Amino acid sequence: MALDLETRDQLVDTVRRFVSERLRPLEAKVAEDDAMPPELVEEMKGLGLFGLSIPEAYGGLDLSMEDECLVAIELGRTSPAFRSTFGTNVGIGSQGLVMFGTEAQKQKYLPGIASGEIITSFALTEPEAGSDSANVQTRAVLDGDCYVLNGSKRFITNANKADLFTVMARSDPSKAGAGGVSAFLVERTLPGLSVGKPEKKMGQQGAHICDVVFDNVRVPVENRLGRDGEGFKVAMQVLDRGRLHISAVCIGVAERLIKDCVAYAAERKQFGQPLSGFQLIQGMIADSKTESLAARALTLETARQRDAGQSVTMEAAAAKYFASEMVGRVADRAVQIFGGAGYVADHGIERLYRDVRIFRIYEGTSQIQQVVIARETLKRGG
């Protein structure tokens, strides 16, 4: 639901101040500790950040896609690890339930997800099924009133904190590809479910990814999400929204980096004048600004189209592809503008350089976005 302009502006301003006053000062500490301070998580709950996309009827803010993107841009102005704390509740960990859940499922889980009492996770990726999401090998065998799940998932965000997993598993082995995959709501407390240790990562310390193993986990039939064989449909519709959210976060990071570059270039002197006076520096700033503006325009326009009920599979893929590649280029230029100061940890530029690299990989690699964009363009005839 779209907020009125005054309410939306108030929300965006509140998030902007929270990012500036509370999150940015803690970036280095969170990265060093690889942990999120519990009191900060409670503040996030109090602001309603865990329920941005959850319908009001279940305790959420029920933001439109455009409003969510505007909030996500503000959240992108700090370390992406902060957003990841509640990001799965807002996106891939909850939206399958919002879009395809029964009323009983929604009543049971959504209020807790919106409040942050329930942390969600989206378990799709496997050792041999990441980009090829229709090829999941985790099995779900119907046995009476339960499905028995066996298999493993890899690189699952927030798995070590999650209370509820949306799991993609093959329920009909006779069907190859997407047709045999179903989606399930799997509670962490079910016997046979185990979570591995957090992986050591290139960036985004404070946000964790882990393996999840299912060993004869009995999941009640009523916890299937949608109809049998609809899992791929669930995943793809969830990812359309998630890709726009990630695009907006990329824009926020890029805008923060540009602002940092402008401030540094104005104060740092070389050859008797500020860096900002050199045209080659100006060229890097101009390229970064132009690309960030283009990403913002594409993302917000696509969000408005989605809010209007249009299919945006191609446009969402294009936005995620462009924005994630764009922020990588902006981060690289930022290191160049800062020079040696950008390579050391003092300014946080090298940390953001590492942080943004994952945006080109998760929720669909850039190469998968290219496949989606080409497929949809050919389907539409241009």
Residues labelled as active-site residues: 363
Contact 189, 217 (CB under 8 A): no
Find the largest Cα–Cα distance for the chain: 79
Angle of CA points 53, 59, 62, to nearest 5°: 30
Which residues have C-beta within 8 Å of that of residue 362, sequence separation ≥ 6?
A: 155, 157, 246
Q: Which residue is listed with tokens 């969830």?
A: 238
Partnered with residue 219 across adjacent β-strands are 147
Contact 235, 165 (CB under 8 A): no
Angle of CA points 148, 217, 157, to nearest 5°: 115
- Give the ranges where the chain is alpha helix by DSSP (H): 5-18, 27-33, 38-46, 65-75, 80-90, 95-100, 103-115, 231-267, 279-307, 313-338, 340-343, 349-355, 366-380
Contact 177, 225 (CB under 8 A): no
